[in-house]
Structure 1
Amino acid sequence: MSAFDTLHRFIFANANVRGELVRLDESLNHIVHSYEYPVQIQRLLSEMAAATSLLTATLKFKGEIALQIQSKGPVSYAVINATHDQTLRGVARWDDSLSTLPETFSELLTSAVLVMTITPEEGERYQGVVALEKPTLAECLEAYFTQSEQLATRVHLMTDMQNPERVKAAGVLLQVLPTDASATDVNESTAFSHIATLTETLTEEEMFSLSVEDILYRLYHQEDVELFPAHAVKFACTCSKERSAEALRHVEKSELMSIIEEEGAIKMNCQYCHTEYRFDSIDVESIHSGNITPPEASQ
């Protein structure tokens, strides 16, 4: 398995703390090069991708998690979707009339909110919202967990933008295990604070050059750490012709036929992977007569 595009879970046996470490390469480049994104947006999507991958490790069930930013600033929208089996996809929208974009997180995103949506395959959908009032995405995520989960959490996100054709991202998440009710406050957990302080000494050079085993030894060689088998992370899109057809089912048949008459076909493009799905008059007749395979059955 590659040293990158992997998620690693580990626990501190004597501290009741768990951690995740992820490093992204090829899976990330499918996302950041899907459009001609300015470097500032590539960096934002890179951090979001690393963060979302880390958050999937908190899922206790099969399903999806989405990290979405809505803003009135230069970047109006950014989202990363991930699944429990570590597939990623994402997209962003920005004001392309601007000749340059600001460099800082706070300037890119003004009057912004972070929406976290968890969608289990079975059960009810959950959505949490937090204002992006901190100077970094990592700090905003920490605030989210403090506000909504009451769990002591530390998040570190890093990007390597030296090679524009090969952007990399990485992240570390530390969290007190929810079974330890006495350690929900960072200041009340000496062990957690100690581990968090050790983690802060990790440099970007070390993150992107050392093996995961060496990183953990470098940081926590005096701790009792158990590292679990790695999980591969990859880019994957859930779009399909069946899903697109299902969306067309909710559009009036006469309106669809009018588009086909004018343009020859209905063309639907996936915003994540750019796959184009075409529908002609026969397809529309089939869709509106109910002769369509439901998306769930086609997967």
Structure 2
Amino acid sequence: MQVNKIAWDDTVLPFQLDKADIRGRVARLDGVLDGILKQHDYPAPVEALVAEMALLTALIGQTIKLRWKLSLQVQSNGPVRMIATDYYGPEKEGEPARIRAYASYDADRVDAKAAPMSLIGDGYFAVLIDQGPDMQPYQGIAPLNRESLCAAAQGYFAQSEQLPTRFHVTFGKSTEAGGVEHWRAGGVMLQHMPKASPFASGEGGSGEGGVLMAQDLVDGDDAENWNRANILLDSAEELEMIGPSVSPTDLLFRLFHEEDVRVYDAQPVKFGCTCSEERVRSSLSIYSRKDIATMTTEEGRVTADCQFCGAHYDLDPATLGFEAEKPADGGE
């Protein structure tokens, strides 16, 4: 049965609170999550972690430029070893951005009824921005926070970027009248406009182990504005975040009408993977014929599966590596 599409599903809406000197984004994900999660048979708590990570990726990724790539990654020593997401900026203005995600986990250590964050151990939250050929990628990391993946992302922005940042999100399985059960997610991101923080050159913050927190980075009027905006955001209800009745613009004006909220053009997003046979061949082009032989199956083929979308590639080993034979016309 077809899931009903709501006009603001799979969009990210940027906004600004002029009085508070705060910028932000509202995201609604529906088809994106369906595209990501239907590729895998994750246990429910793993699905929840991937959904939260995809929502964070949409909220953070909206700021990158055309054709840039944002990657988020969680590395953990818990049952969920890794969650990786990619956000590909639009090729042209007005086109959708693309998001993909997957999780790596130890199935025998995952309790299907466990709280999602109980599956995340010690580790780190990483951000990588690829600006394209001939540009040095940016990478930053921060310790994981056992509270939530959102808290880990907030810690990253405070510690690595020294930008007060707040995420307020909700996600879960939803069933509309006459519809089928599917995942939906909605969230709001607040971020104080960049400026010199009072702790920019200090030693440590108020977080565990001296980690900087958002409240460490604002003082005076900025602290008052930041706290007020966060109190207003806390009043957002779950149905306002993901339900069909309240649009993102209505939500923003309900929450922040006294803050001179300014709304910009929404960015559409969709599920999308960049894997291809050409990319597989390129990744194997550094190997010799002898190396390729070690990757060859008993059936005499080299196979590869995309972790993100599940695409399966079946290739002739003679056409792979730097000693490859040129495929015959009409062949591989």
**TM-score w.r.t. length of structure 1:** 0.88
Query: Which has the higher mean CA deviation after the structures are superposed, 150-159 or 97-106?
Result: 97-106
Q: In structure 1, how many angstroms separate the alpha carbons of the residues matched to 2:172 and 2:117?
A: 20
**Which residue does the alignment assign to 1:295?**
none
Q: In structure 1, how many angstroms separate the alpha carbons of the residues matched to 2:154 and 2:219?
A: 14
Cα RMSD (Å) of the superposition? 2.4
Amino acid at match of 1:226: R
- 1:203 is aligned, of 213, 231, 237, to 237
Is 1:93 the counterpart of 2:104? The answer is yes
CA offset at residue 99 of structure 1?
6.2
CA offset at residue 18 of structure 1?
0.5
1:132-151 matched pairs, under 5 angstroms: 132-151=144-163
User: Residues 104 and 282 (structure 1 numbering): CA distance in 2 closer, same or farther, change over 3 Å?
Assistant: same
Is 1:264 the counterpart of 2:264? The answer is no
Contact 1:257 1:284 in 2 (8 A): no
Deviations 1:129-178 (A, max 9, x none): 11113411112111111111111111112102244841011221111111
Q: In structure 2, how many angstroms separate the alpha carbons of the residues matched to 1:261 and 1:79?
A: 28
1:25-104 matched pairs, under 5 angstroms: 25-60=30-65, 62-85=67-90, 86-98=97-109, 100-101=111-112, 103-104=114-115
Is 1:127 the counterpart of 2:159? The answer is no
Amino acid at match of 1:252: S
Q: In structure 1, how many angstroms separate the alpha carbons of the residues matched to 2:163 and 2:11?
A: 25
Q: Per the alignment, in what secondary structure is the counterpart of residue 55 of structure 2?
A: helix
**Which residue does the alignment assign to 2:202?**
none
Contact 1:43 1:161 in 2 (8 A): no
- 1:230 is aligned, of 247, 266, 269, to 266
User: Residues 261 and 7 (structure 1 numbering): CA distance in 2 closer, same or farther, change over 3 Å?
Assistant: closer
Moved over 6 A (4+): none
Aligned sequence identity (%): 31
**Which residue does the alignment assign to 1:156?**
168
CA offset at residue 13 of structure 1?
2.1
- 1:245 is aligned, of 281, 286, 290, to 281
**Which residue does the alignment assign to 2:206?**
none
Q: In structure 2, how many angstroms separate the alpha carbons of the residues matched to 1:13 and 1:133?
A: 31
- 1:168 is aligned, of 184, 187, 190, to 184
Query: Which has the higher mean CA deviation after the structures are superposed, 164-173 or 119-128?
Result: 164-173
Amino acid at match of 1:176: H
Q: Per the alignment, in what secondary structure is the counterpart of residue 66 of structure 1?
A: strand
- 1:23 is aligned, of 21, 28, 31, to 28
Contact 2:289 2:324 in 1 (8 A): no
Which ranges of structure 2 fall in alignment gaps of 5 or more residues?
1-5, 91-96, 199-215, 328-332
Q: In structure 2, how many angstroms separate the alpha carbons of the residues matched to 1:130 and 1:258?
A: 38
CA offset at residue 288 of structure 1?
2.9
**Which residue does the alignment assign to 2:323?**
288
**Which residue does the alignment assign to 2:217?**
185
Q: Which structure: greater helix fraction?
A: 1
Which ranges of structure 1 fall in alignment gaps of 5 or more residues?
293-299
Q: Per the alignment, in what secondary structure is the counterpart of residue 69 of structure 1?
A: strand
Deviations 1:104-151 (A, max 9, x none): 354211112111111111521111111113411112111111111111
User: Residues 260 and 22 (structure 1 numbering): CA distance in 2 closer, same or farther, change over 3 Å?
Assistant: same
Q: Per the alignment, in what secondary structure is the counterpart of residue 320 of structure 2?
A: helix
Q: In structure 1, how many angstroms separate the alpha carbons of the residues matched to 2:30 and 2:150?
A: 20
